[in-house]
């Protein structure tokens, strides 16, 4: 008689973890909202303008440089320097990885909220200078997004080798900027491949490129409408950062659950 090895039983989920699995599935299946759809339609009809503002070729190179700056700043301002962690005696990333999901989620949420406030203020400030100032604010916005990815990643106890880190961070950004469930799934497949192979080339998926173009176009529109540009730019900046932070949180929540043997791959909610 042939004997088959027993498969490991999944580790039981707590009530909190079960709710987060549902939230991850809902995020994976999330469709674009009204604002995103409007900007997407306008961007599709004005691709020449967006291509001139953000041509395809240099995006990856620019993001590599921005990510290097974000990684450097994150080293100087690590999540471990949070006084609340110091009070609990947590002084290493390994200690964070051993905390409960609810604990690290709360830490990540604080990082996302703080980054959102900073992005809104930056959007309002750059919009006051007109279209040129808005355009110059794009690298700052992307720097903020990548810095947030570094910080939220750290909340879940993640560390990466120098070879892995750029591809992982920009892969997460690709997922965050994807507009539809299909684009999100495509970007996530590329992200997982980059983690396994450490490939940096082609780190920005087409979905991320187009999403960046929509952000730029939306800011250009805001800059051309008197009295409306400050509010629109603050809104767009904050939304991009919150979107990035939420995507990063969901990605590393799933990774945390997988590492603990509590789930396999979480399917998108239909």
Which one is predicted more confidently, 247 or 63?
247
Residue 1: per-residue pLDDT: 34
Q: How far apart are CA 129 and CA 105, in angstroms?
A: 37
Alpha helices by DSSP H, listed for 156-260, are 165-177, 181-197, 206-224, 229-259
- The reported pTM is 0.78
What's the average model confidence in pLDDT over 128-133?
Answer: 54
Q: What is the mean pLDDT of the chain?
A: 75
| pLDDT above 80: residue 153 | yes
Tell me if 232 sits within 8 A of 145, measured CB to CB. no
Tell me if 29 sits within 8 A of 270, measured CB to CB. yes
pLDDT in tens, 22-34: 999 999 998 876 5
| pLDDT above 80: residue 151 | yes
Query: So where are the chain's domains?
Result: 49-258
Helix, strand, coil content of the chain in percent (nearest 5): 75, 0, 25
| pLDDT above 60: residue 122 | yes
Q: What H or E segment, with its residue span, contains residue 159? A: none
- In our burial notation (b when 16+ CB lie closer than 10 A, e otherwise), range 194-225 reads beeebbbeebbbebbbbbbbbbbbbbbbbbee
Backbone angles phi, psi at 110, to 5 degrees: -65, -40
* pLDDT confidence band for 175 (50 / 70 / 90): confident
Tell me if 103 sits within 8 A of 125, measured CB to CB. no
What's the average model confidence in pLDDT over 156-162?
Answer: 87
């Amino acid at each position: 008689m042939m004997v088959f090895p027993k498969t490991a039983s999944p580790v039981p989920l707590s009530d909190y973890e079960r709710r987060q699995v549902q939230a991850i599935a809902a995020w994976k299946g999330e469709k674009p909202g009204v604002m995103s759809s409007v900007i997407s339609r306008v961007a599709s009809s004005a691709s020449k303008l967006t291509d001139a503002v953000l041509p395809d070729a240099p995006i990856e190179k620019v993001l590599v440089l921005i990510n290097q700056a974000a990684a450097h700043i994150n080293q100087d301002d690590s999540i471990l320097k949070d006084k609340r962690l110091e009070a609990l005696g947590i002084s290493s990333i390994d200690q964070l990885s051993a905390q409960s999901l609810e604990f690290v989620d709360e830490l990540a949420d604080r990082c996302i909220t703080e980054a959102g406030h900073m992005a809104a203020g930056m959007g309002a400030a750059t919009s006051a200078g007109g279209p040129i100032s808005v355009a110059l604010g794009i690298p700052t916005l992307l720097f903020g997004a990548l810095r947030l990815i570094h910080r939220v990643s750290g909340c879940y106890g993640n560390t990466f080798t120098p070879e892995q880190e750029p591809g992982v961070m920009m892969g997460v950004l690709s997922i965050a900027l994807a507009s539809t469930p299909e684009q999100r799934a495509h970007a996530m497949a590329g992200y997982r491949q980059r983690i396994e192979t450490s490939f940096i080339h082609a780190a920005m998926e087409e979905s991320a490129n187009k999403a960046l173009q929509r952000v730029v176009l939306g800011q250009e529109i805001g800059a051309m409408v008197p009295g409306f540009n400050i509010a629109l730019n603050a809104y767009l900046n904050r939304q991009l950062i919150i979107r990035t932070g939420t995507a990063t949180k969901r990605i590393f929540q799933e990774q945390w659950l997988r590492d603990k043997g509590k789930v396999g791959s979480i399917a998108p909610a239909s």
